[in-house]
Amino acid sequence: MSTPMQTEPETAGGDGFSLKAILPPLMAIIVGMIMVILDSTIVNNAIPKLVDYFDTDLKTIQWTVTGYTLALSAVIPLAGWMTDKFGSKQIFMTTIALFTIGSVLCGIAQTPEQLIIYRIIQGLGGGMVGPIGMAMVFKLAPPERRGSIMGLLGIPLLVAPAFGPVLSGWLVDSVSWHWIFFINLPIGIIAFILGYKYLPKSDRHAAPHLDIVGMCLAPVAFSMLAYGVSEGGTSWSSASTITGLTVGGIALILFIFVELRQKQPLLELKVFKSSDFTRSIILTWVVQLALFGAMLIVPLYLQGVMHYTALEAGLILMPYALCAALGMPISGRLFDKIGARPLAFAGFTVVSVALYVLSGISVDTQLWVIILCICTMGLGMGFSMMPLNTHVLNAAPRRLVSRVTPLTTAAQQVVVSFAVAGLTGYLTSQIAAHAASEGADANPLSAVVAGYGDTFFLSACLVTAAVALSLLLRRPKPQTEERVADVDNPDPAIMGH
């Protein structure tokens, strides 16, 4: 199996290593990753403004997030094949250019349909930036310095989620919503120039077989299922809901059948034969469904019900990412000593309590209560998700470790799309149901608040289920050192084929 980064600098090992020498290419990769990760968080806080500007409903605008995440999931598994075929530097720069072009198109969108299409273009470009960037950095650093050098990639992972909502709020309030996309133009140009000038050239290698059938079936399956879940929030018996779930379900069954028969599948589903892996990945999905959906709903509530500006909502949301960043290093140290189960149990319990408190939200709820819940959810997320992700990798059969990362990364984006589609649809339907039950003379705001409370309660129930599932986690059974090369060489694990 070929590695994604084919040309390694001569100075990457031994006494010839110089941090100063790899700093320019490292900056090119970090700037590109910051741009993509920032965009994943910057749009959430602008959704109320987009709903007003395009004079449409939340169910339509949520597809700007759902379409983007589905596009990410579609291209992530292709990253390894593309770098083998065309070279990592070439693909990295191409994806940066495509993402930047998609951003500019989003900024000039005239209709919600155009915005959704342009967000998909963004996602097709952005999906490969992270995995290719990580693989290139791994090759740039010598083995004895890889830990510290790879740690620098934590900068975009921590900075972007914390400041994305704040930057989004400032741009929406003080400039225009268009600039949450236009801001990517100068960043993208800088990343492209740095990459062209400083990234080492990479050779093209013979690419493995491309699973074209799987590549076609996966987007159909996941997008139609997301559509069905979104429509189900209004009515599970409607023609659109049944059509979406039926077409998506059939495509998913065909996708699974094709992947299990492929020698080099798009996504390695054989890893689910490991019961430890299956338990841990399902647990991860349940929590992601609840948390990512809930963190989309919070800024909607802050702006739509409490009438905070987008900037104020961004500042209120900032502690979530900061508390998550605080919990990650602590949980990392504890994981080696006590394993994932107690950490996941404690973290998810804390998150479920916070969501249950939010489910009792009312027009009189104080802001400090919401901020406390946000901080608690962030801390619980940081405390539990990193150990759980590590547990997922440890639970995978050794011979399939090199294919787990693209599977889990792509699946996360699919789950996020389901969370956004499902919870926004549920929120809309619950608000309508409460408004109908309370009658024309009732205060409209009370129906809206009750709808948000129901949505937080659903999220809380999902995390409570995760608390119970976390008790099923166990330390993975010792595995024979089969195909150890796959484990020792993390490049394919990062990229996948």
Mean pLDDT by 10 residues, the chain (497 residues): 40 54 83 84 88 90 88 82 82 92 95 94 88 77 64 64 85 92 93 89 67 85 85 79 91 90 81 84 86 85 91 90 83 80 91 93 89 92 82 74 72 83 87 81 81 93 91 70 43 38
Does residue 247 sit in helix, strand or coil? Answer: helix
pLDDT for residue 149:
66
How far apart are alpha carbons 293 and 304 in whole angstroms?
Answer: 17
| 56 Rama sector, left if φ>0, alpha if ψ -120 to 50, beta otherwise | beta
List CB contacts of 15: < 8 A, sequence separation 6 or more.
none
Element (H, E) at 69: helix 63-75
Residue 52: CB atoms within 10 Å: 12
Work out whether the CA dihedral 147, 151, 157, 158 comes out positive or negative: positive
Phi, psi of 127, deg, nearest 5: -65, -30
* 206 CB-contact burial (10 Å; exposed 0-12 / middle 13-18 / buried 19+): exposed
Q: What is the pTM of this model?
A: 0.81
What are the two backbone dihedrals, phi and then psi, of residue 87, each rounded to the nearest 5 degrees? 100, 140
Cα–Cα distance for residue pair 444/365, rounded to 1 Å: 17
DSSP letter for 263, please.
Answer: S
Strands (E), 163-260: none
User: Which pLDDT score is estimated for 156?
Assistant: 64
Measured CA to CA, the distance from residue 134 to residue 155 in angstroms comes to 13
- Asked if 411 and 286 touch (Cβ cutoff 8 Å), the reply is no
d(CA 44, CA 40): 8
For the chain, the straight-line distance linking the first and the last C-alpha, in angstroms and rounded, comes to 9
Residue type, 363: V
